[in-house]
Amino acid sequence: MTGDVVLDARAVGKRFPGVVALSDVDLTLAAGEVHALVGENGAGKSTLIKVLTGVHPPDSGELVFQGGPVRFSRPLDAQAAGISTVYQEINLVPLMSVASNLFLGREPRTRWGLMDFRAMNTAASTLLRSYGVEVDVTRPLRTLGAGVRQMVAVARAAATDARVVILDEPTSSLEPREVDTLFAIIDRVRAGGAAVLYVSHRLDELYRICDTVTVLRDGRKVHSGPMAELPRLRLVALMLGRDLEQIRKEGTTKFDSAQPEARQTPVLAAKGLTSPHLLHGVDVTVRPGEIVGLGGLLGAGRSETVRAIAGSLPVDSGTVTVAGKSVRSGSVAAAMRAGVVMLPEDRKSDGILPDLSVRENIVLAALPRLSAAGLVSRKRQDTIVDTFIRRLRIKASSPDQKVGELSGGNQQKVLLARLLCREPKVLLLDEPTRGIDVGAKAEVQALVAELAAEGLGVVLISSEFEEVVEGSDSIVVLREGHVVAQLRGGDVTEQKLIAALAEGGDG
């Protein structure tokens, strides 16, 4: 089924200050195969991709592309050679239209050499429609959701006549249905004889679509071979560097928060949240120690609900009460003072300050607490930062490493640390494990359960149903801004959730 070797990376090494990101990594991509690249967060997957595509020059090793040695010094060179890439952090221009983003650099031109917008827009619509996305291509990309943006990025990469298509965690912001569409696209690319390098943390997806797999751990290649010959457990064991027995025991990890007592006053009571076109009278109640999941599909109003609670989405009506006290709506500051903190969906644009250090990112929020008479004691800072780095197992070369240099999962943990040092009462988590590998995901889930056990109220959003079901004590199911069902106790199962989504429940 697979053909000639298209791209061969030999003994590639790459170090960053304080970190060896890759050492002696080999990777061979053959025509017509989908090659999985897996590893925990920080294993070096994104770095390997950036080395392959000319973003980072390798420190050692060589690249052989279509039979000849190559050295890409810019992304442009790799693209011109026929390697197209969707990087992990979606890289498109938000202010520009969908069509412009698809065609930047290869815009159709009239015979006068000017851009032909009509042709470009038509081609863009046709292309996206063939990928199952219906959208007005003249709209600025910024006005569209993460799922559509991701599809645009993929369409852009797959549309060029590439010999190699690289996808770094393309499904992390996609809904299940969109994942199907993506896989159809990948099939098409594979059938066309190109090689696909596919990075994902979702094991189901890997086994569904990939032919071959390479596993990285701590910057080294630990395995490479046919996907079908590698049992799941062994794959996880390879990624984590633990033995199978250990995994079997821990594999059943679940949130096991204490059952909340119904009598307790809710730590969070949101009633009748209404915002035009987005929310229509949404109620959410969370008791101390309880984790309430929000179920729903793209556009159901899950993010809007938590944003309304956190005060970042203005509401027309509805009240939010925290621990019995009502909170002024539409004010993030008021919500924070009341003890409500939110982990936003899009950490890149909403939360993290990539150029500041891990320490600064964490203490930023804690400043009011750390300062005595306006001075921030460095020692207090250090204690808090060290505690969180240890407790959340943040992998950084030092507290002074820039957050932008950390892997996605570790950035997420830094954000979480920042929220936690405010000692909140209510924690709103919007896709807390998006783009995080299985190991870190279990850690984050365990951590959330731990926090709930300490009496925190948690609202959890995840597009992975399994995660919502496993993680929540009860689930509020939303559709088009309405609450269509409430699942409690024994009803918190994937089947019931899907049924509620499909039928809208009875009330």
Partner 1 sequence: MTAVTEQAAVAVADKGMTKREWIAGLVQRRGSVVVLALVILVSSFSFDTFATLDNARNVAMQSSFLAIVALGMTFVIISGGIDLSVGSVYALGGVLAAIGIQWGSVAGLLLPLVVCGGIGLLNGALVAYGRLAPFIVTLATLLGARGLLLAITDEGANTRLMPRDAVLTQIGQGTLLGFGYPVWIAVVLFAVGVVVLQRTRVGHSVLAIGGSAEAARLMGLPVARRTMWLYTASGLLAGLSGALAAAYSASGVTIVGVGFELDAIAAVVIGGTLLTGGAGTVGGTLAGVLLLMVIQNVINQIGTLSSHYQSVVSGAFLAAVVAIQAYLSRAHLGRERST
Ligand X SMILES: Nc1ncnc2c1ncn2[C@@H]1O[C@H](COP(=O)(O)OP(=O)(O)O)[C@@H](O)[C@H]1O
Residues that bind partner 1 (CB under 8 A): 55, 74-76, 78-80, 85, 87, 91-96, 100, 104-105, 107, 109, 113-115, 129-136, 139, 142-148, 151, 156, 175, 177-178, 180-181, 184-185, 187-188, 277-278, 296, 298-304, 313-314, 345-346, 461
Decide: is 41 part of the binding site for ligand X (CB under 6 A): yes
DSSP 308-361: HHHT-S--SEEEEEETTEEE-TT-HHHHHHHTEEEE-S-HHHHT--TTSBHHHH
Decide: is 239 part of the binding site for ligand X (CB under 6 A): no
Site for Mg ion in 202-261 (CB under 5 A): none
300 touches, from ligand X, Mg ion, partner 1, none (C-beta below 5 to 8 Å by class) = partner 1
Among 44, 147, 295, 318, binds ligand X (CB under 6 A): 44
Decide: is 54 part of the binding site for ligand X (CB under 6 A): no
132 touches, from partner 1, ligand X, Mg ion, none (C-beta below 5 to 8 Å by class) = partner 1
Nearer to Mg ion, 159 or 394 (CB): 394
Q: Least distance from C-beta 159 to partner 1, angstroms?
A: 12
Which helix (H) or strand (E) element contains residue 483? strand 482-488
DSSP 7-51: EEEEEEEEEETTEEEEEEEEEEEETT-EEEEE-STTSSHHHHHHH
Q: Least distance from C-beta 48 to ligand X, angstroms?
A: 7
Site for Mg ion in 40-99 (CB under 5 A): 45-46, 88
- Tell me the CA distances in angstroms from 124 to 15, 102, 103, 127, 137, one per residue in order: 39, 7, 8, 5, 7
Among 35, 45, 163, 221, binds ligand X (CB under 6 A): 45
Residue 48 backbone dihedrals phi, psi, to 5 degrees: -60, -45
Residue 142: both structure tokens together: 């910024």
Exposed e or buried b per residue across 331-363, where buried means at least 16 C-beta atoms within 10 angstroms of its C-beta? eeebbbebbbbbbbbbbeeebbeeebbbbbbbb
Question: How far is it, in rounded angstroms, from Cα 408 to Cα 416?
Answer: 12
> ∠253-256-258 over CA atoms, to 5°?
170
Which helix (H) or strand (E) element contains residue 249? helix 244-250
Site for ligand X in 282-311 (CB under 6 A): none
Q: Residues near 219 by Cβ (< 8 Å), separated by ≥ 6?
A: 20, 21, 22, 23, 25, 43, 44, 47
Question: How far is it, in rounded angstroms, from Cα 308 to Cα 290?
Answer: 20
User: Judged by CB under 5 A, which stretch of 37-45, 116-124, 220-228, 327-335 contacts Mg ion?
Assistant: 37-45
Residue 345: both structure tokens together: 């969906």
Among 178, 304, 345, 405, binds ligand X (CB under 6 A): 405
Decide: is 89 part of the binding site for ligand X (CB under 6 A): no
Dihedral of the alpha carbons of 393, 395, 399, 405, in degrees to the nearest 10 = -140
Nearer to Mg ion, 43 or 236 (CB): 43
Nearest residue to 295 (alpha-carbon basis) of 426, 163, 425, 478: 478
User: Judged by CB under 6 A, which stretch of 188-196, 271-279, 401-409, 439-447 contacts ligand X?
Assistant: 401-409
Nearer to partner 1, 92 or 421 (CB): 92
Residue 38: both structure tokens together: 């897996």
289 touches, from Mg ion, ligand X, partner 1, none (C-beta below 5 to 8 Å by class) = none
User: Judged by CB under 6 A, which stretch of 111-119, 143-151, 404-412, 499-507 contacts ligand X?
Assistant: 404-412
76 touches, from ligand X, partner 1, Mg ion, none (C-beta below 5 to 8 Å by class) = partner 1
Decide: is 47 part of the binding site for ligand X (CB under 6 A): yes
Residue 102: both structure tokens together: 């698809």
Among 159, 294, 343, 406, binds ligand X (CB under 6 A): 406
Question: How far is it, in rounded angstroms, from Cα 210 to Cα 496?
Answer: 31
Nearer to ligand X, 172 or 381 (CB): 172
User: Judged by CB under 6 A, which stretch of 36-44, 131-139, 277-285, 308-316 contacts ligand X?
Assistant: 36-44
Site for ligand X in 129-188 (CB under 6 A): none
Site for Mg ion in 434-473 (CB under 5 A): none
User: Judged by CB under 6 A, which stretch of 41-49, 235-243, 249-257, 496-504 contacts ligand X?
Assistant: 41-49
Pairing of β 212-217 and β 220-226: antiparallel
**Could you identify the residue written with the tokens 């042709």?**
119
Q: Least distance from C-beta 53 to partner 1, angstroms?
A: 8
Q: Least distance from C-beta 36 to ligand X, angstroms?
A: 13
Q: Residues interacting with ligand X, by CB under 6 A?
A: 16, 19, 21, 39, 41-47, 405-407
Q: Residues interacting with Mg ion, by CB under 5 A?
A: 45-46, 88
